[in-house]
Amino acid sequence: MSNARPKLVAIVGGSGAGKTWLADKLQKALRGKAARLSLDNFYRDRSHLPPAQRAKLNFDHPSAIDWPALERVLRDLLAGKTARVPCYDFKTHTRLGRSKLRAPKPIILVDGLWLLRRALVRRLFALSIFVDCPRGTRLRRRLARDLLERGRTRASVLKQFRDTVEPMHRKYISSQARRADLILSGNCPQREFRLLASRLRGTAG
């Protein structure tokens, strides 16, 4: 690996927009030169609250994130240090007692809902991408994910999407598109993907 400073790439968009899909595909295309990080790991620990109270919290608001912890990890990676990343359990809304070590690589792909909202975090990224995706597609993808991976019921997913996910999307997520260096559609046409992968390979050395 080169001794050059790692480059952080933000992949931002609504829930179900295709951020994780794009990050996975880019990591494969970069062939060992990219590491992955998700804002999902940095939800604040709610273990001090009773489960019934946790379920009533608005997890679609930026304040649900432990921003100082994220900034520490990003700065460690930029400094070439191995970072300790927390593990979060969406079924219980608690942080697990273990953490994962993430070693820096030339490119570090970071996906998340609100990465471009805070100036201190936004300035750390060498490139920012906003994934634009229609509401209906985002809802279908969120349903499929939450039913399979997060132990949710269809009714609870639909209610959360209506009550908080979409209102918070309009208030806090969609406006980030104007701060992004690139705007990609949710299905990312092959030509656009190849150009983006080529651009990142060029910066990875």
Average pLDDT over residues 164-180: 95
Q: Please tell me the number of Cα atoms within 13 Å of 158 on its side-chain side.
A: 3
Residue 91 has a pLDDT of 87
CB 184 within 8 A of CB 22: yes
Architecture (CATH level 2) of domain 7-204? 3-Layer(aba) Sandwich (3.40)
Write out pLDDT tens, residues 29-87. Answer: 999 999 999 999 999 999 999 999 998 899 999 999 999 999 999 999 999 999 999 99
Sign of the alpha-carbon dihedral angle for 117, 17, 135, 41: negative
Strand partners, 35: 108
Strand partners, 11: 111, 129
Is the pTM higher than 0.75? The answer reads: yes
The beta strand positions in the chain, using DSSP E, are: 7-13, 34-38, 83-89, 94-102, 107-112, 127-132, 182-185
CB 8 within 8 A of CB 128: no
Residue 3 confidence (pLDDT) above 80: no
